[in-house]
Chain A
Amino acid sequence: MSTSTALDFTYLYPFQSAVGEFDRGFGLKLATCNADQENPHFFEGKLMQPRCMGDMLLVLNNVVRTHFFLPRPPLMDPVVTSSESMIRFEGFSGCCGVYARVDLLPEAFQADLQNRGTTNVDFNNPMRAALTRLKDKDEAWLSVGQEQVTLSRNNESIVEKKVKLPIRWIKGFSEVQAYQPELKLRLEVSATEARHFIRSIPKGGAPKRPSYVNQLGKALRITQREQKDSIRVSGTNRISILDPLFNSARGLRIWSDDDYGVSAWEVVYDIGKFFLMISPEVYRGFSGEGQVLEKLATGDWESALAKVQAQLTWQSQIDINKISSLTGYDINTIESALAVLGSRGLAGYDVSEGKYFHRILPFDLDKVEELQPRLKNAKKLIEDKKIELLLKIDSENYDFAVKGTDVTHTVRIRPDADKCTCPWYSKYLGQRGPCKHILAAKIFIDNDNCEE
């Protein structure tokens, strides 16, 4: 992998995460490290249902360690965010098409220490094995980080993992948040039904065509036929990964959006939830989706961005109304600003609560900022004067000619749906965000270039 598509990143942990006997007793001790090689200490507390949490962390780790498209084992670790009211573990699959999150509610712990922050946490094989042996009757502790850790190169217990973080992985991890506000709850079933369903998914070679999930009575069924209200799923093996979660779960809630074919699978427990979100196709990571491009290209959020960002203080649920009254911006502008912050790794979205939460992905996100090729190309089209207004019908309807490599494309900006004659638009019909020609036209209009 060349350096242009991946960042060299080193996870530097002061010790190896483990399950076992520690000074404080039996428990799970997670080693931390963030982008600037600090090792924060966020959390200390007693686990109320260790088995249940063990199951969730294991599946999260399975997601992070799986490339669902090619046999390339990634080496990325999950990310943990702690605030006063919740601990969230997040991960992203190596193929960039599956996002997973474990939300642990206050009911999951008796916390002694609960600080705010986000960091990477070390997951390793012996710890994974030990997680499977946790039992609810165990008295178990969880610590995220450790007090007064000094990293020293001579320290033999130091864990150093050098990885190449694909840019598209970091980008996807950020952009996945843009889909979540559009998700709607479609189906809800008991854990028993959910388990039956997950186990009915074909083993071995998965279908190459999309499958659809329907509800038949109380039961869920996977079919190859699209029906009214069915949920589209590509790469059914990506949801099979949930199988181990239903032993102690209460039920399964399935979310999907109307337009993009994204679905989310929320396994609900008494102490929290496991959230799994999958991209529209196995070979399409979230990183290529570009759903926020239009927001990034135009709009009023830019002026609001800094003020909104200043209001973020590791809230587990961001109160938009409150920020609106504090900053003076309307709700829509705040939402746009949060969506953009989400795409920059500075906020996540909790679908079941319908609210953003604050966290900062522990990677060098400056590089990600530069990685919107479609947006960059759109700006270049304007710089190179390759866009020409053909017709302004009114303030919402325009026709443009945009010069391509060996052909001139026609872009039509319309309130119901923008259109372009380029292959990208023709293939996806807007499902994967606007093409560079439409983006260029939008920027052109936004810059008041169409005013007479």
Chain B
Amino acid sequence: MNQDDLESFIANADCDGLAEAAEKLTESERKKISRAAQNLYKQIEKSRLNVVMISGKSVVEELEFLKKWIKEIGKPDVYEQYNTAGLAVLAFCSFTSARKINARFYEKNKEDTLIKILSDRKPEWINEWINEKLKGEWQQISWETLRTLINNGICSKPDSDDYIRLMAVGLPSYNFKEADKYIPLSNKIKEDPSLLDDEIWKLFKVETNAFIYDWENHASLPANYESWVGCICKLSTEGLLDRQKLINSSLKGLTSGFKNNMLSGYIKVHDKLEPSVDEIHQRQEIYLDLLLSQSSHVVTFALKILKELDKNNLLDDEKFVNSISILFNITTKSQPLAALKILTKILKRSPELINNGIQGIITGLIHQSVDVQSEVISILEEYINADDTNSINAIIMQKDSIAQSLQNKIMNIISKANLSEFKTIMVNNCSSSIDDYNVNYNVESYCSDEIKSRISNLSENVREKFGLVYPVIDLNDDLFLPFDCNINDLKIIPSLQIVKPIDNTDELLETVAHALETVDSAIEVERIIDGISRLCNKKDSTFERLAEPVFKRAEKLGELEGLNRLVSRWGGSNALQDLLSTWLSSKRLLPKRKFAIEGPMRFIENRIYDISERVSKNISAPLLSFPTHENGWIDPEILIERIIMIKKLNINIASHDFIQALLRITPDNRAAALEKSLAIKGPEGKIIQYALGADDKPGWTDNKLSSLWLAAGRARFPYSTLDDFKKLKLIANLPDTIEPAKYSWTSSQKEYVDQWSKKTYYHPDLTISSGNFKIPDNVSSEWPTVLMHVQDKIYHSVYFTNSAWLNQWIRMIWPQNVESYYAAGAKALLSRIDYNASSHEPIYMFLEPMLEKYRTFSELSYIDLTLALSGKDADARGLAIDIMAEAIQNSRIHYKLFGKTIAGISKGEWLKLNRLCDSFTEVSRLSPTHAYVVCKIIMAWLSNQKELPRDAHYILSLLNELIIQLGITMDRITCHPLNSIKGTGKTAKLAKALLTNNPARKTNDYYLALSDLINSRIDLAESFS
């Protein structure tokens, strides 16, 4: 065996020949050929990717020296050659090389060859090698290969958990298409019976996915298909596995702390074994212990079994009663409710356990579910003794946590006791005492002298405009609706943080080095670009030394994947990488690719390429588009100073930079800036002056600069038709060119048939249109307002990127108008509505514009807000709750529009009202004002609903609590959809409660909310003055 033989075997993928040739070799003979084998493997691996991309056939095009060995042109393909090279490494090389070889082959003959090679060689490292191959999520050895090696005595049986994980996935047959060739799992185990003594039992000790999937009786599978669950039970029935040990093992598995789906698997095994009442009874202690589990699945299971024992009069009542308090730590309600049902029966038959029972359930008063609290109160009403001071004391301690709708009942229980004794406890521990119930609050109680004085200081006009005509304040609901302000009429600079430019080259290098590892915000990226633009020619003697590590790091990271880095193979910006390279090493990396990038990134990337072009000539200049304030805003007075400076430097103004600068100017200081801008001559002067409010309109001759004029027009009129622009050659029907985008939306469901299961699924669908148009692929990179409407139609990344900072950067393109950003956000939020938060697909940033106090909420923003509040993504949901909390505080929520939007989304019948209700509950708890606004949103939703969705009871339950908390009544329109509800279900009961609820008076909380809202309204009126 020499190198030529080896090359021939590999070139022709002759693995059998290789194995034959290696069969009799000694270790020293193998060692002689090992280096050649290792080198060949490395070369083939290295060239494999290129070869696949070029021809997909053979490595000879890359590795010419192999060509001479090929017996049949075009055969074999690169994968076969690669596998054969891997087998050669296993046949000849040391463990260090062998550990890198994947031992998983998808062809049977390769597996056989692998076994032969290892069996002939019997390497001393075989056990260590197998342990290596078993590690990781994608194990690199097949179950059949490993078992053959074990059974043939070539290697020892691994004692790692990975071995059991391999069995769980590797032992079952997946040959579903050819049903006659399918071998049931139990047959396979019987063919390898030693598994029954050890490995099978380890499925209950090791976290695998064995019991997670149970597809028995599935139409697409062979009739004799067996899952692990079915197989285990079959083997038990056949007496091959001890039934009692299996039941015990399944129960032991439930205390393992594994993932929930794994625990559900153990429950499936237990239930499939169908333990008899006697078998359950013998294990009663274990089931009682399972009530302690941190998994609600397991507790549900234990309660189901204990209920069965109760039905058969075998329940250990005392132990059950003593265990009940722990169940109230579970956040869902079904488990505590099931336990309370059992408890009710126990207390009837065992009065001696009443005291223990009552002590056990008092913690249930603080459960999040009103239903649980209500059930606990019912038991207390029936069984509590007025002399049970300990229990009543404990109830008083929990009183503030009990739902409003249950406060009267709990007060009745407390009142049974001696009031004088408890008054002190009430005062110390509760926000309201019994005496509070007798106090009448009214408008006067909350209209302080200060409020009166502030109102009287307002001018009559303003008082009238804002409905603050004291002493008779008009208490109609509209008083609390936000004003519809035009963003261009506002002064926003005072509320914005100033962006500090980078001072010197040292700071710039440090900022770049940090952003290469992690980008903190899009503004940081703008600081870097501005820094390079201004400081690119300021390189002292230390620059090269300090820049070298940064440049090398940028080069390296540019080849790697990563979402939150300034440069990366995917998810970063190519243009930024080019800019860094140009500045740090004077090397341009990429040609200018105007149309290669889609969507708004086309504008951003081209803007940076323009800067790189200048930096490559070592020309420094201020960046027009560098934000002076957070969220991308530019003070127009500063912009004018920058333009004047560039003009003085005699540097051409880059069009992308100018367009970006125009779209970022704040509504503030425009008049002053216009005056200063008169010093700017030429077309740039005319354009900036128009943006700032000058009368001069574009004419026919301005067509060459139509992109700049468009940006100026949109900077001046973000939401209106640009009537002055009719003479410019612009594609009129594209959104946000001459006409502003006009949005319409519908909520529905999309039908989807799963090809495998043939089941029909319905996916939530929300179609948002910004007009009837088709944006051409070659739309100019200088039309960012149009590019903002270009979205990816296939992937979740609506703007062709999943980086949070890149999306934030996109929204800074046009801070005045973020409607297209909201529309993109709706798509992203909907696509992840049922998924937990993910670092790879962040969506929270689409909500961020709503945090800006000067911004009015549009219909699209209410859509995004609703989707986030009802989604599972905790980042988006948490931020949406913060937004609602803050917006209510500064009177920005238009509850009528919000309620109407929710009703529109509800039409699609996919909105998860339970999740929306949880979010609303959280907001309503913040203050009486928040409770009031949430109550009004729900009422607005109701009044826009013709009929109620099935899960409306979640929202109605909250509404009921809020109405009682505030003491308000519902009007006729709001009541309308409730009138038509029939039946005795949860929704019907709540509808009835709401319709019959007639509070005697408005509550303390109502007037607190009123006072708060009046104050906010006065704040607004004062700022308007």
Contacts and interface: CB of A to CB of B under 8 A. Distances in A.
Interface in B527-552: 542, 545-546, 548-550, 552
A66 B545 contact: no
B323 A66 contact: no
A421 B549 contact: yes
A133 interface: yes
Nearest to A227: B882
A427 B557 CA distance: 13
11 contacts: A125-B289, A129-B323, A195-B366, A200-B925, A207-B874, A209-B875, A221-B926, A223-B878, A224-B879, A406-B552, A419-B510
B838 interface: yes
Instruction: Rank and list the top 4 A-B pairs by shortest CB-CB distance, nearest first.
Output: A205-B836, A427-B517, A73-B257, A426-B513
Given A125-B289, A199-B368, A426-B517, A243 B329 contact: yes
Contacts of A244: 326, 329
B922 A408 contact: no
Nearest to A406: B552
A299 interface: no
Contacts of A196: 401, 925
B256 interface: yes
A71 B207 contact: yes
Interface in A173-217: 192, 195-196, 199-200, 202-209, 211, 216
Nearest to B254: A125
A110 to B, nearest CB: 22
Given A71-B258, A202-B874, A205-B837, A408 B548 contact: yes
Interface string A213-235: 00010010111110000000000
Given A129-B291, A216-B927, A223-B881, 4 more contacts: A71-B207, A196-B925, A223-B882, A410-B549
Given A209-B844, A224-B882, A225-B851, A71 B329 contact: no
A129 B289 CA distance: 5
A277 B256 CA distance: 25
Contacts of A207: 837, 874-875, 878
Contacts of B359: 135
B569 interface: no
Contacts of A126: 289
Contacts of A219: 926
B39 interface: no
B503 to A, nearest CB: 15
Contacts of A407: 548-549, 552
B552 A421 contact: no
A133 to B, nearest CB: 5
B549 A409 contact: yes
Contacts of B927: 216
B175 interface: no
A423 B292 CA distance: 46
A39 B9 CA distance: 64
Interface of B: 207, 255-259, 288-289, 291-292, 294, 319, 322-323, 325-326, 329, 331, 359, 363, 366, 368, 397, 400-401, 429, 509-510, 513-514, 516-518, 542, 545-546, 548-550, 552-553, 836-839, 842, 844, 851, 872-875, 877-879, 881-882, 885, 922, 925-927
Contacts of A72: 207
Contact of B872 (A66, A71, A204, A426): A204
Nearest to A62: B294
A224 B875 contact: yes
Nearest to B880: A224
A66 B257 contact: yes
A356 B922 CA distance: 40
A128 B292 contact: yes
Contacts of A159: none
Contacts of A199: 331, 368
Contact of B839 (A132, A208, A225, A408): A208
Given A206-B874, A224-B879, A129 B288 contact: yes
A62 B294 CA distance: 9
Interface residues of A, number: 51
A445 interface: no
A87 B616 CA distance: 69
B397 to A, nearest CB: 8
A310 to B, nearest CB: 42
Contacts of B838: 208
A331 B542 CA distance: 42
Nearest to A129: B289
Contacts of B872: 204-205
Given A200-B922, A204-B872, A423-B553, A211 B514 contact: no
A284 to B, nearest CB: 14
Nearest to B289: A129
A5 interface: no
A304 interface: no
Contacts of A426: 510, 513-514, 516-517, 553
B874 A204 contact: yes
Contacts of A419: 510
Contacts of B545: 401, 408, 410
A6 interface: no
Interface string A389-408: 00000000000010010111
A31 B152 CA distance: 45
A408 B291 CA distance: 60
Contacts of B922: 200
Contacts of A204: 836, 872, 874
Contacts of B881: 223
A305 to B, nearest CB: 36
A116 interface: no
Nearest to A222: B878
A202 B323 CA distance: 27
Nearest to B366: A195
A426 B510 CA distance: 7
Among the interface residues A71, A243, A408, which one has the most CB atoms of the partner chain B within 10 A? A71
A202 B545 CA distance: 48
Among the interface residues B257, B550, B837, B839, which one has the most CB atoms of the partner chain A within 10 A? B257
B1004 to A, nearest CB: 15
A203 B332 CA distance: 10
Contacts of A202: 874, 877-878
Given A71-B259, A224-B882, A225-B851, A132 B323 contact: yes
Contacts of B552: 406-407
Contacts of A404: 549
A135 B358 CA distance: 13
B513 A65 contact: no
Given A129-B288, A132-B323, A408-B548, A208 B875 contact: yes
A202 B550 CA distance: 40
A404 B323 CA distance: 61
Nearest to B430: A192
B362 to A, nearest CB: 9
Among the interface residues A208, A221, A243, A408, which one has the most CB atoms of the partner chain B within 10 A? A208
A83 B359 CA distance: 35
A303 B851 CA distance: 56
Contacts of B877: 202
Contact of B258 (A73, A216, A401): A73
A62 B295 CA distance: 12
A128 B289 CA distance: 8
A422 interface: yes
A192 to B, nearest CB: 6
A167 interface: no
A247 interface: yes
Contact of A133 (B257, B322, B401, B842): B322
A429 interface: yes
Given A196-B401, A199-B368, A224-B844, A208 B257 contact: no
Contact of A422 (B331, B549, B839): B549
A356 to B, nearest CB: 33
Interface string A44-78: 00000000000000000010011000011100000
A404 B549 CA distance: 10
Nearest to B847: A224
